[in-house]
Amino acid sequence: MNMNWADGATRVAVLTGAGISTDSGIPDYRGPDGVWTRDPALVNAFTYASFMADSEIRATFWRTYLGHTAWQARPNAAHRALAGLERGGVAVRVLTQNVDGLHQRAGSSARKVLELHGSIHEVVCTGCGERTPTRPTLDRVAAGESDPRCPACGGILKLAVVLFGENLDPGTTGMAERIAAHSELMLVIGSSLRVEPVASLCAVAMNAGHPLVIINRDPTPYDDLAVEVIREPIGAAVPRICALLGTQ
């Protein structure tokens, strides 16, 4: 592996997708055992318009998350390596498409992790906007409420995650673009780079003259533009890259 692109990089933007969490037991979406691959009908439950219009779809959504592997998941070697890189003094900003909170659990500073697609650890009311921890709502689902409503206003509750057809928070995307433009290196780990506008952060980094390195099992639309594409398993590649960056 030629890692000249690591020379002198002290500000690193890291874009992570579902592939970084598969070693923690959380399935990705589009892989051979992915969520959409195994049950294409679930896409409806993750589409904002369908979710808001149909209580049965909301019930499917809540059932899916009630027993989700994310609740028991633990950070893996890649999450820990990125947290260690930050502790070692490298200016690391994590831009994650994941909603599992594993970067923070691994030790990455919450203020250094930008959750582009939200978090499963909060519930938001689509009526009054109140945010609450997820566990009490899941407990209601477990007790038999298939379509829990907001205790304050009776509005529809949803996890604080971005569903298909729902816009990302413009403040969050604006901050992500600034981070991509001002970091000296962009690492992409475990993302298919098929979801916009997040994937275009790669273009932001490259247009600012920064190298793009992709660590992913499958091809992405940005592979031809990267200075290096690494197909090696994420759990092995990321700790080695972080160890090298930590010596800069």
CA quadruple 219, 221, 225, 227: dihedral positive or negative? negative
The single residue listed with the structure tokens 């273009």 is 203
For residues 99-112, give the mean pLDDT. 96
Model pTM?
A: 0.91
pLDDT score recorded for residue 36: 46
pLDDT, one tens digit per residue, over 202-225 is 999 999 999 999 999 999 999 999
**pLDDT beyond 70 at 35:** no
pLDDT, one tens digit per residue, over 149-208 is 999 999 999 999 999 889 899 999 999 999 999 999 999 999 999 988 889 999 999 999
pLDDT-based confidence at residue 32 (cuts at 50, 70, 90): low
β-pair type (118-125, 157-161): antiparallel
Give residues with Cβ within 8 angstroms of 177, minimum separation 6. 201, 204
Give residues with Cβ within 8 angstroms of 109, minimum separation 6. 86
Active site residues: 117
- The domains located in the chain, with CATH, are 1-26+75-117+168-248 (3.40.50.1220), 31-72+119-161 (3.30.1600.10)
pLDDT, one tens digit per residue, over 123-147 is 999 999 999 999 999 999 999 999 9
CA-to-CA distance for 209 and 4, rounded, in angstroms?
A: 15
